[in-house]
Structures are given as structure tokens and as C-alpha cells.
């Protein structure tokens, strides 16, 4: 297989590839906010048209939420399914962006050229590395080396409510030999990785109600229970002084790291220095997790609890001496190993209810519950892909953990009985979910080349 001609073509057509990515980035496909539903449709339409231009048999598939895009092209073994998502996170706080989040800009930075926009890294830029690799394969070889199914969703940033029903309803069409997922990062700028351990995610929203209306803290302050006081006490009690989560049974099913994996991770560098470097990039210095764990464990193999949002009372300019009726928070748990999201949801709710004073009530709203996923790396496709990545980048590729949750990785095993291989080219400083998100032009360029090599290697 003359892969070099394909790689050369990728190098020569990079400007056109970047322009196509920019077109997709201009579409404001925020899935979590209903006001942007039309933009999600537009993004799906754009992908249908782009895949059709490759010769794929492709269509937009309705769901109760945002649509799926499914396309098929090529033939022959192995049958690869490529998954990505076209939806993006909200952009607030907008005032912290240096440019319009939906007007992508190519910028030179001290760490190289980047393309800056919401979704540049998560996940439009990553998704397009694979599409562009296919385009280059077809341009230089007339066709793809094997059968490929594209499977794009538009609800990944809002909990993928339509995904499992759609996979079940279309199992025969989607079933392949392996699912390729491009929503992860490199270990560092020189070291590609295949992610084989993913944390799960449980989201909970709670609203505590005290008095049945907002009160004046002069008239009622001191005698009326303030729900913010209750909420802060509840949330403050979720961690003990060692950084452990206090919910009963929370650590049930959390495995200790196998000795060989611990050794492999220790070989990546001194844990204290690594934690300091990792945190130093965001203005921190002290690991805040369980004080008996290394930084890599804290983000790859240990469960967490974070408050992602809190609100109550008067939050505008100036001061208002209100004693509010309600206080709310959004809380998430990152899960590992065999932790049961539903058991932890119940433990959380029981803990909150038990902590409430007599006069307070609580309402809960669940926001998704996915267990952790550990990949089965026994298929020879994993080793072939690892070698292809090693050929492209300065350092050998590693099997790594990932702190984030990509529930889809587990769903392919659970509902379609196929392994998932997670390869991505994002960097830690891509600022995904944050203002000024970017994707390195090198991530994009060498990402396309990496996929071209993987397509050559798995044949």
C-alpha cells in the first residue's frame, strides 16, 4: 500500500482541509440549549453533504432530540465504524473569549499555529481528521481500503439521550468489527495515545427549598432557615479532609490499579513533577484529590465529585438582603471500574435527604448516568493502530487512561458487541468547554496523516 502518496496529498491540501473545518465551526451547534436546535440541524446537513461528496451513501436520521448522521462507503474487511459528534458546549462566559467563538481564526502562538473556535478540538476538529483522511485516500487510491461507516451524533454534550435507542433500533446497520472514536487527547505533544480506560459520569441537579417565598433578611434573618446555608453544608460534607468522597458505598467497585499499569504510568515521569506541571498550566500547584494518590491516578483511575454550578439568592450588581426561598447546585461524579451510577445516585440523594433540617425539602433532577469503560485491547487491530501512530509521531504510542467520560465507548460493547478504539489528537491546553477553545494545526494535520496510516495498517 503506497501510503506516502496519500500523506503527500494530505500535506498539499491542508489549506482546503482547514477551510472545510472552518465552515463546520461556523455553525453554532450548541446541543444543551434548545434555542440552538436549528443550528444542530444545519451542522448535520453540512456533514451529510460533505460525506456525500466523498461518494458515501449518507442521510440525516431524526431522533426525539438532535439528528444522527449515518453514512456508508467502501467495501471489504475489516468493517470500521467511525464515531464523532457535531454538537458543542455553550460558550459562556462570552466576555472571556478574545474573538467570536463561531468565527474560527488561524493564529500563531508560542506553541505553534492553532485554529480557535468553540468545537475546534471538541469534537469538530477531531471528527474532521478522519473525514479528511478518507478524502485523501479516495483522491490518491480511487477508493477506501475497507468498508467504513460514519456515525455522528449531535447530543454528546447534553448526555446523548437518543443514542442508545438509536443504536438498538439500527443495530444491524451499525455493527462493525471495531468502532473508532476520535474524542480523546495525546499523552503529550510528542506522544500519541490509545485510550483504554474511561471514567463514567453521573450528573445530579438539586434544589433545596426553605421558606415558601423570598424573605427580607432583616425581618426573618436569624429565625428562618436559609436554604443556601443548608446547601453549603450539604455540599461541604461531600469530601473529608483527606480528599475522599464521603457517600456511603461510594468506593464499592473501585479497583486498585494493576501493578503493571502502575509501573507503566510511573515510567512516564516523576508523579510529583508531573502533577506540578499539569496543574501549573492552569495556575494551580497542589493536587486536590485523595492525598494518598498520584496526580495520574486522580484524573485517570480514581472517582471524583465536583460541583459544576451553584446558585441562589441575589447574584446581580450591588447588594440585596434577601433570604431566598431556594438554592440549587449541579453536581457530577466521575466514576471508575465497577462503580454503579444508579447506586451512587441513590446514595447521594439519601445523603442529602438525611442532612436536611425539618423545614427544608429537596427536588432532584438526574442528568445522565454512565459507568466507566475499560477497553478490551486483545484485538490485533489495537496493536496495528498503535504501530501506525508510532510511525507518525516522535514518541511511541501508549495505552492510557482518560479522566473524561465518553459513554459511547461502553455502549458499542454493551449494545453492538464490538470493541471501541479511542484515538485522538487533542492537547491538554485546548481549553475544551472553556473560553478560547483551540485545536493545534499540527494536531489536525498529523491527525489526518495518522488516520491515513491507521487505514493502511488495519487492512
Nearer to a second copy, 119 or 289 (CB): 289
Q: Which helix (H) or strand (E) holds 137?
A: helix 124-141
Which residues, 204 to 233, sit near a second copy by CB under 8 A? 205, 210-226, 228-229, 231-233
Distance in Å, CB of 257 to a second copy, minimum: 14
**Cis check: omega of the bond before 123, within 30 degrees of 0:** yes
Site string for a second copy, 12-41 (x = CB under 8 A): --------------------xxx-------
Please report whether residue 43 would count as binding a second copy according to CB under 8 A: no
Please report whether residue 237 would count as binding a second copy according to CB under 8 A: yes
Please report whether residue 79 would count as binding a second copy according to CB under 8 A: no
Nearer to a second copy, 404 or 413 (CB): 404
Which residues, 361 to 400, sit near a second copy by CB under 8 A? 367-368
Please report whether residue 306 would count as binding a second copy according to CB under 8 A: yes
Please report whether residue 161 would count as binding a second copy according to CB under 8 A: no
Which residues, 315 to 344, sit near a second copy by CB under 8 A? 315-324, 327-330, 332, 334
**Pairing of β 112-116 and β 438-440:** antiparallel
- Candidate ranges 61-69, 200-208, 372-380, 388-396; the one touching a second copy (CB under 8 A): 200-208
Nearer to a second copy, 149 or 443 (CB): 443
CB 215 within 8 A of CB 322: yes
Nearer to a second copy, 164 or 310 (CB): 310
**Which residue from 55, 90, 271, 413 is in contact with a second copy, where contact means CB under 8 A?**
90
Distance in Å, CB of 95 to a second copy, minimum: 12
**Which residue from 67, 203, 337, 341 is in contact with a second copy, where contact means CB under 8 A?**
203
Residue 83, C-beta contacts closer than 8 angstroms, at least 6 positions apart: 151, 152, 153, 179, 180, 181, 182, 408, 412
Q: 164-186 as b/e, with b when 16 or more CB fall inside 10 Å?
A: eebbeeeeeebbbbbbbbbbbbb
Nearer to a second copy, 172 or 317 (CB): 317
Residues in the interface with a second copy (CB under 8 A) total: 100
**Which residue from 9, 20, 175, 239 is in contact with a second copy, where contact means CB under 8 A?**
239
| Measured distance CA(144)–CA(190) in Å, rounded | 28
| Measured distance CA(265)–CA(261) in Å, rounded | 6
| Measured distance CA(56)–CA(70) in Å, rounded | 10
Please report whether residue 163 would count as binding a second copy according to CB under 8 A: no
Which residues, 271 to 290, sit near a second copy by CB under 8 A? 275, 278-279, 282-289
Please report whether residue 158 would count as binding a second copy according to CB under 8 A: yes
Please report whether residue 268 would count as binding a second copy according to CB under 8 A: no
| Measured distance CA(445)–CA(449) in Å, rounded | 6
Please report whether residue 314 would count as binding a second copy according to CB under 8 A: yes
- Candidate ranges 2-10, 165-173, 296-304, 377-385; the one touching a second copy (CB under 8 A): 296-304
What crossing angle do the helices spanning 441-458 and 124-141 adopt, rounded to 10°?
50
- Candidate ranges 235-243, 376-384, 409-417, 441-449; the one touching a second copy (CB under 8 A): 235-243
CB 416 within 8 A of CB 410: no
- Sign, CA dihedral 110-115-119-122, equals negative
| Measured distance CA(132)–CA(62) in Å, rounded | 25
Distance in Å, CB of 299 to a second copy, minimum: 5
- Candidate ranges 126-134, 257-265, 338-346, 428-436; the one touching a second copy (CB under 8 A): 428-436
Distance in Å, CB of 49 to a second copy, minimum: 28
Integer CA distances (angstroms), 55 to 45, 73, 74, 134, 246, in order: 15, 7, 9, 11, 55
Residue 397 C-alpha cell reads as: 504510542
Nearer to a second copy, 222 or 394 (CB): 222
Nearer to a second copy, 42 or 436 (CB): 436
| Measured distance CA(36)–CA(92) in Å, rounded | 14
Residue 1 C-alpha cell reads as: 500500500
Nearer to a second copy, 311 or 415 (CB): 311
Please report whether residue 351 would count as binding a second copy according to CB under 8 A: no
* Helices of type H across 226-270: 227-236, 259-266
Residue 62, C-beta contacts closer than 8 angstroms, at least 6 positions apart: none
Which residues, 101 to 130, sit near a second copy by CB under 8 A? none
CB 115 within 8 A of CB 105: yes
Helix (H, G, I), strand (E, B) or coil at 59: strand
Please report whether residue 413 would count as binding a second copy according to CB under 8 A: no
Residue 385 C-alpha cell reads as: 493502530
Distance in Å, CB of 120 to a second copy, minimum: 14
- Candidate ranges 67-75, 172-180, 306-314, 392-400; the one touching a second copy (CB under 8 A): 306-314
Amino acid at each position: 500500500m503506497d501510503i506516502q502518496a496519500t500523506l503527500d496529498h494530505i500535506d498539499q491540501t491542508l489549506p482546503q482541509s482547514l477551510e472545510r473545518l472552518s465552515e463546520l465551526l461556523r455553525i453554532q451547534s450548541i446541543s444543551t440549549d434548545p434555542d440552538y436546535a436549528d443550528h444542530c440541524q444545519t451542522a448535520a446537513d453540512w456533514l451529510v453533504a460533505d460525506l456525500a461528496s466523498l461518494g458515501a451513501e449518507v442521510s440525516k436520521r431524526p431522533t426525539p432530540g438532535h439528528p444522527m448522521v449515518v453514512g456508508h462507503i467502501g467495501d471489504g474487511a475489516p468493517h470500521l465504524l467511525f464515531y464523532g459528534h457535531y454538537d458543542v458546549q455553550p460558550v459562556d462566559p462570552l466576555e472571556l473569549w478574545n474573538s467570536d467563538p463561531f468565527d474560527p481564526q488561524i493564529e500563531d502562538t508560542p506553541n505553534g499555529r492553532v485554529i480557535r473556535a468553540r468545537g475546534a478540538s471538541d469534537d469538530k476538529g477531531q471528527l474532521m481528521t478522519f473525514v479528511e483522511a478518507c478524502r485523501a485516500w479516495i483522491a490518491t487510491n480511487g477508493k477506501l481500503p475497507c468498508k467504513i461507516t460514519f456515525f455522528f451524533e449531535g447530543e454528546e454534550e447534553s448526555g446523548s439521550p437518543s443514542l442508545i435507542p438509536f443504536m438498538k433500533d439500527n443495530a444491524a446497520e451499525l455493527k462493525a468489527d471495531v468502532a473508532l472514536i476520535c474524542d480523546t487527547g495525546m499523552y503529550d505533544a510528542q506522544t500519541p495515545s490509545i485510550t483504554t480506560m474511561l471514567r463514567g459520569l453521573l450528573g445530579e441537579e438539586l434544589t433545596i427549598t426553605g421558606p415558601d417565598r423570598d424573605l427580607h433578611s432583616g425581618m426573618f434573618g436569624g429565625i428562618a432557615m436559609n436554604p443556601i446555608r443548608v446547601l453549603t453544608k450539604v455540599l461541604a460534607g461531600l469530601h473529608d479532609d483527606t480528599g475522599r468522597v464521603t457517600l456511603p458505598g461510594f468506593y464499592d467497585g473501585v479497583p486498585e490499579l494493576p501493578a503493571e499499569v502502575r509501573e507503566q504510568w510511573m515510567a512516564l515521569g516523576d508523579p510529583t513533577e508531573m502533577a506540578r506541571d499539569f496543574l501549573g498550566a492552569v495556575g494551580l500547584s497542589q493536587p486536590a484529590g485523595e492525598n494518598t494518590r498520584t496526580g495520574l491516578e486522580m484524573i485517570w483511575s480514581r472517582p471524583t465529585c465536583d460541583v459544576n454550578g451553584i446558585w441562589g439568592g441575589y447574584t446581580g450588581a450591588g447588594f440585596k438582603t434577601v433570604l431566598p426561598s431556594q438554592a440549587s447546585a449541579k453536581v457530577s461524579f466521575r466514576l471508575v471500574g465497577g462503580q454503579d451510577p444508579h447506586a451512587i445516585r441513590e446514595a447521594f440523594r439519601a445523603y442529602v435527604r438525611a442532612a436536611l433540617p425539618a423545614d427544608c425539602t429537596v427536588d432532584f433532577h438526574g442528568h445522565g448516568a454512565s459507568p466507566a469503560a475499560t477497553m478490551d485491547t486483545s484485538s490485533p487491530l489495537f496493536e496495528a493502530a498503535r504501530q501506525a501512530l508510532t510511525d507518525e509521531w516522535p514518541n511511541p504510542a501508549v495505552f492510557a487512561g482518560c479522566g473524561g467520560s465518553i459513554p459511547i465507548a461502553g455502549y458499542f460493547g454493551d449494545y453492538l458487541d464490538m470493541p471501541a478504539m479511542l484515538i485522538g489528537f487533542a492537547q491538554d491546553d485546548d481549553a475544551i468547554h472553556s473560553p478560547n477553545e483551540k485545536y493545534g494545526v499540527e494536531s489536525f494535520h498529523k491527525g489526518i496523516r495518522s488516520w491515513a496510516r491507521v487505514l493502511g495498517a488495519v487492512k
